[in-house]
Amino acid sequence: METDATKQRKQFYRDYASGQWSMSDLCDRYGISRPTGYKWVQRIEHEGMHAVSDRSRAPARHPNQTPELIERKILALRERYGWGATKLRQIIQRKHPAWRVPARSTINELLDRHGKLRKNRRRRIWKHPGTVRLETAGPNQIWPADFKGQFKTGDGNYCYPLTVTDHFSRMLLLCKGLDSVRVEGTRPAFRGLFREYGLPDAIRTDNGAPFASGGICGLTRLNVWWMKLGIIHQRIRPASPQQNGQHERMHRDLKREATRPPADNLKKQQRLLDQFQHRYNHERPHDALGGDFPADRWTPSRKEYTSRPKPPNYPGHFEVRRVSACGTFRMKSGQYYLSKALLGEDVGFEEIDDEIWNIVYYNTILGRIDLKTGKITGNEKV
């Protein structure tokens, strides 16, 4: 039977082979060093998936095996006092200074072998939102999204074109003129997109409204909804549009072909946007695609949209709190502000140290709270 560590190494390689993640991002995500990451990749590529199974590190000979007398003494003290390896080692050294007392790690191995070691619960590795390298190996892995700069139509009203593309195929999936960037108009546009084409693995945006806020983890009602649907929200660095460069180049074409001059009103402007979308996807060869049309490279997502996402399922050792209408939650004797974007949502809290708790929503770590000081820090400092 495969161990959890073996499954983790295999999933690490699958993520690496997908091309969606850089080695640095993957190693941060899995909590390992880059040399270890490269070692797993090289071992699998040379020997196959079975090569990352746990290997025995036991030596053929045991010249430094702990004497039986010392073993019995350690086990007896453990049984009597329940002390850990460090304290057991110290007390034996005091009582028997002439003995060659084993190292702390050796004592831990001894306790483990006899079933006397209390192992800490293995902590889940949580996904962190943020910027990763923009690399895809197939459709629907990353959908860049943005608002093309607003402009006025002939009747004096503003038009805000909301655009979404598929990074792999360059397919322009959504090109809709809205009268503002408020969530009230943006969310229905995404809902219609998801119903028609399915869900992506990730959506990549800038840090402006309605995609992100200045609060913890950049939470807004829009990206909280994406999290509930299982979509990772990637945010580019502030003032770094080049991190969505492909999408920005499409915007230049849209501006030239569909907004100059603007139409008389929003309804007529939408016709121009629809015409541009069809032309961009089905009639305009793309050099980066070898002269193919985006529609030739794109297929709908297999992840179907649901209007009733499953509630979060936190591990049993989590504390779960519901966020109030004011954006607050209660922990022990205190009340703390988190975000109004999580109104009515259940948030998980995982204690990682004395009075230090990770704040988790679905499978995303939002930040950390220190109950001794009441201070909450965002995930960029976790």
Confidence at residue 99, expressed as pLDDT on a 0 to 100 scale: 86
Architecture in CATH of 142-297: 2-Layer Sandwich (3.30)
Rounded CA-CA distance 348/28 in Å is: 22
**Domain segments of the chain as ranges:** 4-52, 68-113, 142-297, 319-381
Choose between 58 and 100: higher pLDDT: 100
Rounded CA-CA distance 210/231 in Å is: 16
Confidence of residue 67 (pLDDT cuts 50, 70, 90): confident
Confidence at residue 171, expressed as pLDDT on a 0 to 100 scale: 97
**Would you put residue 198 in left (φ > 0), alpha (ψ -120 to 50) or beta?**
left
Q: What percent of the chain has pLDDT over 90?
A: 49
Confidence at residue 91, expressed as pLDDT on a 0 to 100 scale: 85
Confidence of residue 23 (pLDDT cuts 50, 70, 90): confident
- Range from 43-47, 202-206, 240-244, 254-258 carrying the lowest mean pLDDT: 240-244
Q: Are 125 and 29 in contact (CB under 8 A)?
A: yes
Confidence at residue 128, expressed as pLDDT on a 0 to 100 scale: 41
Confidence at residue 381, expressed as pLDDT on a 0 to 100 scale: 45
Q: Which residues contact 37 (CB under 8 A, 6 or more apart)?
A: 12, 16, 23, 26, 27, 30
